[in-house]
Amino acid sequence: MRNEATVWIGWEPREASAFAVARSSIKRRLSTQIPVRGLVLDSLIKQGLYTRPIGYRDSAADRPVMWDTISGFPMATEFACSRFLVPIIAKTGWALFCDCDMLFRDNFARLVEGLDPSYAVYCVKHDYRPINSVKMDNQVQGQYNRKLWSAFCIFNCDHPSNKALTLEYVNSVPGRDLHAFKWLKDEEIGELDHAWHWVPGHSSPDINPKCIHFTEGGPWFDAYKDVPFASEWQRELINWAE
């Protein structure tokens, strides 16, 4: 496979500042030039890449929640299922998808250099079972197998097993199958160091995080101003704004 790499960050209009920090924090630490792009649902729909039916239902939030009709399940973000289009869009090389609510503290380029091309996907294999029923701005906290694995995952776009991840497949199977990497065999999923996907309140406090995921909610939400590493996130936002 080629030694190319790209980064795709999920775009969510409600979390524009989070996206800005995720993009800025990863780019500032790269030792080599790696394209860092946003994964924008409206654009994917216009291109005919994302055709899953979307509904809206009333929720505890201040607006209707997006509903994935195929899954019969709410979508807390616009990139809930669209992330699995990344191998199709990137075409070749290693392609990182990450949620927008992340803060990078280390050089992603070094991580790519050590990846084994015999694996189809790399991720941190969390055993994440949140007890809260809501997260962020009153979004439903969904429960499903291998939760969080796909929030920071590196696709090997040239691996033959990922050829099963077609437009038809991504746009027709339940989201829980996508997030569980059902198109792959277990042994085709490589494991990353937990420092690369560190979750406040879940990951070990003994780990020095390389990338922090504010999955419950980050400092851009009033209710999460005091989460671990909030001040570091705020400094990154100021640096980006300047």
Using DSSP's 3-state secondary structure scheme, residue 86 falls into helix
| The pLDDT value given to residue 138 | 46
Q: Which CATH class, in words, describes the domain spanning 5-49+77-241? A: alpha beta
Q: What is the mean pLDDT of each run of 10 residues along the chain (242 residues)?
A: 84 95 97 97 98 84 82 92 98 98 97 97 87 48 76 98 98 96 98 97 95 93 92 94 72
| The pLDDT value given to residue 142 | 52
| pLDDT tens sequence across 17-55 | 999 999 999 999 999 999 999 999 999 999 999 999 999
Domains of the chain, residue spans: 5-49+77-241
| The pLDDT value given to residue 45 | 98
| The pLDDT value given to residue 133 | 40
Q: Is the pTM of this model over 0.85?
A: yes
| The pLDDT value given to residue 1 | 45
**Exposure string for 103-132, b = 16+ CB within 10 A, e = fewer:** bbbbbbeebbeebeeebbbbbbebebebee
Q: Which two tokens stand for residue 115?
A: 């990846």
Q: Are 150 and 83 in contact (CB under 8 A)?
A: yes
| pLDDT tens sequence across 169-188 | 999 999 999 999 999 999 99
